[in-house]
Amino acid sequence: MTDINDSSRISERPNNDRAPRDSGQQHAGDADPAFIELAELLFFAYRDFISDPDTELAQIGYGRAHHRVLHFVSRHPGLRVADLLDILKITKQSLGRVLKQLIDEGYIEQEAGHADKRERLLFATARGQALARRLMAPQLARIAQALAAAAENGDDSVRRFLNRMISDEERGKVASLLDAGQPYQNRALERQ
């Protein structure tokens, strides 16, 4: 068995898997340590943010893809499949399997669009809404706890920070989606 601490073995390894030092690219070792720490904090925060829902989803044989689909469909009743694909940045094929499971197992239903019958509008069923709320509850508690510990106006600072983490091209779409909760709710009421 090779000793990973044996420095003599390191020099024997080929060097072709490393980027050349003179490539002009910034290397992690050259980056601001505070930014590296923030990047790592984001990884750990995300890990813990999704840990509670992951546990519950695993019990019913679902994963993170199911969670993301259910989240956006439950938050935006009447969401078009095309819009969901754009939000999640996945292919139809990737969405197809997950969406079929959620529909077959009674968490989501779809219906034809009102103006264009080829459109597919997605709605969370009562069962889907209940699951989405259960999955979100520990996440909201974690957010509330973290914001309570933040300095005054911490939520505004966090919101601005997270907003700036979104690419320039997507920031407007995300803002529109977040602002669009009420119109989607109205569509759900029209449906009943």
Size of the chain in residues: 192
**In-domain check, residue 128:** yes
Q: Is residue 26 assigned to a domain?
A: no
Question: What are the two backbone dihedrals, phi and then psi, of residue 53, each rounded to the nearest 5 degrees?
Answer: -60, -40
Rounded to whole angstroms, the Cα distance separating 124 from 74 reads 5
- Are 76 and 123 spatial neighbours (Cβ–Cβ below 8 Å)? no
* Angstrom distance (rounded) from CA 122 to CA 112: 9
Question: Is the entire prediction scored with pTM above 0.85?
Answer: no
CATH code (residue 133): 1.10.10.10
- For residue 113, which amino acid is it? G
The pLDDT tens digits for 68-107 are 999 999 999 999 999 999 999 999 999 999 999 999 999 9
Domain count, the chain: 1
Instruction: List pLDDT tens digits, range 29-69.
Output: 678 888 888 888 889 999 999 999 999 999 999 999 999 99
Range of the domain at 187: 54-191
Higher pLDDT, 71 or 175: 71
> In which element (H, E) is residue 89 found?
none
Residue type, 17: D
